[in-house]
Amino acid sequence: MKYEDIRQIFFEYVSGERDSLNDYKRKEISLKITKEDAEEGLMENTRYEWYDGKTKVAEVTLTKWPNNWISCHSLEVKPKYRGKGLSHDLVEFLKKKGMNHLSVEPNNKIAIHLYKKHGFKMSGTKEGKLLRMEIPSHKKEV
């Protein structure tokens, strides 16, 4: 599913089977970069949050590194809103923003399955405990 298609698919969600990110208000937050992060090359850290009124529905954090390396630091859908397809919409949103790498706990089989469905492939380990995944030949949409 392409992010641009979410508006069209929204009408399918009205049946109550699942929600769309378009149902919720999005908030963009620039996070401060610590001196240690800057020394490691971190260029930008942005969190996106979606709200249903005052209740947070979902959030993701994108981290931008040199050499066009953009990773997902976190992706969370609150329990009440799970099982409605929002995680798929979040991954497509992140890919549109240019995300091309991520790290995931090896025992998080649900997340690994989700990322594989969206074109991510295993590419090694990070710090000996996290699995690294990336999209081969991923190009950011403009």
Q: Which CATH architecture has domain 3-98?
A: 3-Layer(aba) Sandwich (3.40)
Contact present, 45 and 57 (Cβ < 8 Å)? no
Q: Name the residue type at position 136.
A: P
Which residues of the chain register pLDDT less than 70? Answer: 1-20, 22, 37-38, 40-42, 125, 127-128, 137-142
Half-sphere exposure for 103 (CA within 13 Å, toward CB): 10
pTM over 0.85: no
- How far apart are alpha carbons 35 and 52 in whole angstroms? 35
Predicted local confidence at residue 8, as pLDDT: 36
Q: Could you give the residue ranges of the DSSP H alpha helices within 6-85?
A: 6-13, 35-39
Question: For the chain, what are the domain ranges?
Answer: 3-98, 100-137
Predicted local confidence at residue 58, as pLDDT: 92
Cβ atoms < 10 Å from Cβ of 52:
15
Predicted local confidence at residue 139, as pLDDT: 47
